[in-house]
Amino acid sequence: MSPHNTPSLESLGKVHFIGIGGVGMSAVARIMVARGVPVSGSDAKDLPVMADLAAAGARVAVGYAAANLADAQTVVAGSAIRGDNPELAAARQAGLPVLHRSQALAATMADDTVVTVAGTHGKSTTTSMITVLLKAAGLDPSFAVGANIPALGVNAAHGTSGIFVAEADESDGSFLNYRPRIAVVTNVEPDHLDYYGTAEAVYESFDRFTGLLPPDGLLVACADDAGALALAERTRARGNTRVVLYGTDGRADVRLDDGGPGQVAVSTAGARFGLSLQVPGRHNALNAAAAFAVALELGVAPEAAAAGLAHFSGASRRFELKGSARGVRVFDDYAHHPTEVRAALTAARSVAGGHKVHVLFQPHLFSRTREFAAEFAEALNLADTALVLDIYPAREDPIPGVTSQLIADHLGKGGQLVTAADAVDTLAGTAADGDVVLTVGAGDVTAFGPRIVEALRA
């Protein structure tokens, strides 16, 4: 989709969302409703967000049926919608335009100053930090994030400032549908090889992403990540885009000084500003430096930018506290790539102090487990106890010979495979006062946190 044919919001007419209850789809629908677009939608289950959308003025149905399309003029289909879905089949038969969620979002923000956040990890958190910071500084941005943000109450909203902050997902190449003026890249690593095939294809897609920036555009990239730094250097070499680097690396324009909890500061143009962050971990300090750099570009005073970051209390499923009992704190994290697992466990170590860290990990996707089994184990070995569940298949069919055993083969003495039935009791029996328990993965492992808290209480 090139800039000239991102459809205007007005040209979409009445928009119907197939899979409107999904976190990404509901975000776009919410903003379209707020911007006066007639919206309808359906989902297989009656999800809580659907009542919100109905209250805002959308026509919402539970269950899929061709009749739900009614007089829709444009259809948006979620990535999980299969080709034989009766609504999608009816839309195609009627010759209606069918948009990917990212194309619908691009149309929604076509007239705004767009800030997109891309990268293999840290997108939701960084997008949220930028949004919380801008709100605190008195700007009222529109935003769309791929996770629920307790500090914002919702994962998307229409704002009045003409600034739109959006998470841009590279997993299926859809981040190439946006037209940012400011693009943030937190890191670039091979992932989603089920879509891209090779690491080179991943790097090339990021080059195309920075190539979307206009002559007055800005790339904000992490100097501490080899992939993002290389991307920044290639972008600079093309010569038509400004680049700002952030991080602890000496080449950073916004320099992070991460002296541990309460000691985080950023320096730029010779001035130093302390940050009071509510979220632990070096990776979150880096995300905060990225948000600070974006705010400066949008005209926020550095003092106000630094102060605004204190309002960010974390994103849902990003090192989220699920409860505590018997002096044991239980956190949940969405980490599903070795780099993310390492970051989550490093943060857990800083929170645990001298006490122990116990992790329950659920691998996500057979293909990812096959690619990264040894790296997952290496990251999990940072914990004192590492329990690994069966693979969560998500959208994939099993791959012969690919099981969680591939990870278990590389675990240290504290590591073992467990069944879902044994996991809760094992952790509740192992964790002691002061320890941290972390449930990790992109699947349904998130449900184990509250059960572990209950078992500790019992």
CA angle 152, 157, 158 (to 5 degrees): 140
Residue 419 has pLDDT above 80, yes or no: yes
pLDDT confidence bin for 1, thresholds 50/70/90:
very low
What's the pLDDT tens digit per position in 257-272? 876 555 789 999 889 9
Across the range 214-235, mean pLDDT stands at 95
Residue 318 has pLDDT above 80, yes or no: no
Across the range 284-308, mean pLDDT stands at 95
Across the range 169-174, mean pLDDT stands at 74
Across the range 209-233, mean pLDDT stands at 94
pLDDT confidence bin for 121, thresholds 50/70/90:
confident
Q: Measured between alpha carbons, how far is 119 from 247 in angstroms, rounded to an integer?
A: 15
pLDDT confidence bin for 317, thresholds 50/70/90:
low
Residue 89's pLDDT is what?
97
Residue 76's pLDDT is what?
97
What's the pLDDT tens digit per position in 341-381? 988 898 788 778 889 999 999 999 898 899 899 999 999 99
Structure tokens at 242: 């400004």
| Torsion angles phi and psi, residue 396, rounded to 5 | -105, 150
Q: By 3-state DSSP, what share of the chain in percent is helix, strand and coil, each rounded to 5?
A: 40, 20, 40
Residue 5 has pLDDT above 80, yes or no: no
All domains of the chain, ordered by start, with CATH?
Answer: 10-100 (3.40.50.720), 109-311 (3.40.1190.10), 320-457 (3.90.190.20)
Residue 4's pLDDT is what?
41
Residue 154 has pLDDT above 80, yes or no: no
Q: Measured between alpha carbons, how far is 390 from 29 in angstroms, rounded to an integer?
A: 35
What's the pLDDT tens digit per position in 233-244? 999 999 879 999
What's the pLDDT tens digit per position in 11-36? 999 999 999 998 889 999 999 999 99
Residues 99 and 29 sit within 8 Å (Cβ to Cβ): no
Other CB atoms closer than 10 Å to residue 311's CB: what's the count?
15
Residue 356's pLDDT is what?
95
Residue 191's pLDDT is what?
67
Residue 3 has pLDDT above 70, yes or no: no
Q: Does the global pTM surpass 0.85?
A: no
Across the range 111-125, mean pLDDT stands at 90
- Flag the least confident range among 2-6, 120-124, 206-210: 2-6
Question: CA-CA distances (angstroms) from residue 368 to 197, 319, 401, 411?
Answer: 12, 22, 13, 17
Tokens 């916004």 correspond to: 254
Q: Helix (H, G, I), strand (E, B), or coil: what is residue 430?
A: helix
The top-scoring range by mean pLDDT among 172-176, 230-234, 313-317 is 230-234
Residue 359 pairs with which residues in a beta bridge? Answer: 386, 438
